[in-house]
Structure 1
Amino acid sequence: MMIFYLIGIVLLTMVFLGVVFLNPIQRRRWLRLWASLAVVLGMALLVIPFDNSSVISGNNHLLILTGGYQKDTVAAYNKSNAVKVSWENLDQSQIDQAAEIHVFGYGLPDTSVWNIPKSTTRFHASPLPTGIASIHWKQEISLGQGLLIQGSVSNPQQQKLQLQLVSGLLVIDQRNLGAQGSNRFEFNPSPKNLGTGNFQLLLLKGKDTLSKNPIPFIVQSPKPISVLLLQDAPSFEQKFLKNWLTDHGYELAARTRISKQIFDQAFSNRASANLLNINAGLLSSFDLLLTDEASLNNLSAMEQYQVRAAIREKGLGLLVTTDTILKHAALLDQALVLKNIQDSSSANRYLKMQGHDSTWHPMINKDAYLMMLPSAKMQTLVSDAKGRVLAGIYLEGMGKIGYSTLGQTHLWSLAGKQWDYDFYWTQLLESVASQTAIKESWTLGSGMDFIHHPVPIVQWKDLAQDSISLVSGSKIYLQQNAIYAFKQEGQFWPQQSGWQNLVTSGGQIKPWYVFDTKDWQLTQWSKNIVQTKTWLANSGDDKKSKTLEPLQPKRQYVPAIWAWLILLLGLAVLWIESKLE
Structure 2
Amino acid sequence: MLYAVALCLLLAVLLTVLAIRRADTRRRGLRLLAGLLAAAGLGLAAFPPTRSFTQPAPASAILLTDGYSADTLQALQRQVAAGTPVWRLAPHRADDTTTIPNVAAVRQLLPGITRLHVLGQGLPVADVAALQGLHLVPHADASRVGFAMAAWPTQPELGQPWQIEGSFSAPTAGPVWVRLLAAGAPRDSVQLPAGRGSFRLRFTPKAVGTTVYQVQAHQKGRLLAQEPVPVEILPTQPLRLLILASAPSFEIRFLKDELAARQHKVALRIGVSRGLAQTEFLNLPTPLNLSRLTPRLLATFDVLLLDNDALASLSADESQALSQSVRTGTCNVLLLADGSAIPRQLPGGAAFRLQARPANAAALPLQWPGTTQPTPSPATHVLLNSASLRPLLSTASQQVAAASRRLGLGQVAVTTVTETFPWLLQRQLGVYHAYWSQLLSAVRPAQTTSELRLLSSWPRPAEPVVLRYEGPATRSPLTIISPGNTTTLVRRQDATVPEWTTAPYWAAAPGWHEARVGSTSRHFYVYDSMAWPLPRFVEWQRAARQNAATGAQAVVGAPATATTTWPRWLGFGLFVLGAGLLWVEEKL
TM-score of the superposition, structure 1-length normalised?
0.55
> Aligned with 1:204: secondary structure?
strand
Quickly say closer, same or farther: Cα 1:280–1:455, change in 2 above 3 A. Answer: farther
Q: What is the Cα deviation at residue 149 of structure 1?
A: 0.8
Question: Distance in 2 between the 1:442 and 1:214 partners?
Answer: 23
> Aligned with 1:81: secondary structure?
coil
Q: What is the Cα deviation at residue 36 of structure 1?
A: 4.7
Alignment partner of 1:283 is 2:357: no
> Aligned with 1:85: secondary structure?
strand
Quickly say closer, same or farther: Cα 1:24–1:528, change in 2 above 3 A. Answer: closer
The aligned amino acid for 1:61 is S
2:42 pairs, out of 30, 36, 46, with 46
1:271 pairs, out of 290, 307, 326, with 307
2:140 pairs, out of 125, 136, 148, with 125
Deviations 1:243-268 (A, max 9, x none): xxxxxxxxxxxxxxxxxxxxxxxx99
Q: What is the Cα deviation at residue 169 of structure 1?
A: 4.4
TM-score of the superposition, structure 2-length normalised?
0.55
Deviations 1:530-575 (A, max 9, x none): 4333443xx13448659xx99675363653x654543443343344
Deviations 1:404-456 (A, max 9, x none): xxxxxxxxxxxxxxxxxxxxxx9xx9999435x52x22113535323443221
2:473 pairs, out of 463, 476, 485, with 463
* Residue 554 (structure 1) aligns with: 563
* Residue 203 (structure 2) aligns with: 189
* Residue 153 (structure 2) aligns with: 138
Q: What is the Cα deviation at residue 481 of structure 1?
A: 0.8
Quickly say closer, same or farther: Cα 1:203–1:565, change in 2 above 3 A. Answer: same
Provide structure 1 residue ranges, at least 5 long, that are not aligned to the other structure.
Answer: 227-266, 287-306, 318-398, 403-425
Alignment partner of 1:476 is 2:478: no
Quickly say closer, same or farther: Cα 1:188–1:94, change in 2 above 3 A. Answer: same
2:531 pairs, out of 519, 526, 549, with 519
Mapping of residues 269-348 of structure 1, within 5 Å = 271-272=307-308, 273=311, 280-283=320-323, 286=326, 307=327, 310=328, 314=330
Q: Is the 8 A contact 1:201 1:212 kept in 2?
A: yes
Q: Is the 8 A contact 1:194 1:221 kept in 2?
A: no
1:454 pairs, out of 464, 467, 478, with 464
> Aligned with 1:456: secondary structure?
strand
Mapping of residues 70-219 of structure 1, within 5 Å = 70-77=72-79, 79-88=81-90, 89=100, 90=103, 91=105, 92-94=107-109, 96-110=111-125, 112-113=127-128, 115-116=130-131, 118=133, 120-178=135-193, 180=194, 182-217=196-231, 218-219=233-234
Q: Is the 8 A contact 2:55 2:562 kept in 1?
A: no
Q: Is the 8 A contact 2:467 2:504 kept in 1?
A: yes
Q: Report percent identity of matched pairs.
A: 19
Provide structure 2 residue ranges, at least 5 long, that are not aligned to the other structure.
Answer: 91-99, 242-302, 334-407, 412-437
* Residues 145-154 or 193-202, more deviating: 193-202
2:518 pairs, out of 481, 500, 505, with 505
1:566 pairs, out of 574, 581, 584, with 574
Q: Is the 8 A contact 1:469 1:477 kept in 2?
A: yes
Quickly say closer, same or farther: Cα 1:54–1:457, change in 2 above 3 A. Answer: same
Question: Distance in 1 between the 2:120 and 2:217 partners?
Answer: 23
> Aligned with 1:213: secondary structure?
strand
Question: Distance in 2 between the 1:515 and 1:574 partners?
Answer: 72
Quickly say closer, same or farther: Cα 1:542–1:520, change in 2 above 3 A. Answer: same
* Count of residue pairs the alignment pairs up: 395
Q: What is the Cα deviation at residue 190 of structure 1?
A: 2.0
Q: Is the 8 A contact 1:139 1:147 kept in 2?
A: no
Question: Distance in 1 between the 2:544 and 2:477 partners?
Answer: 35
Question: Distance in 2 between the 1:500 and 1:7 partners?
Answer: 68
The aligned amino acid for 2:212 is N
The aligned amino acid for 2:473 is L
Quickly say closer, same or farther: Cα 1:45–1:144, change in 2 above 3 A. Answer: same
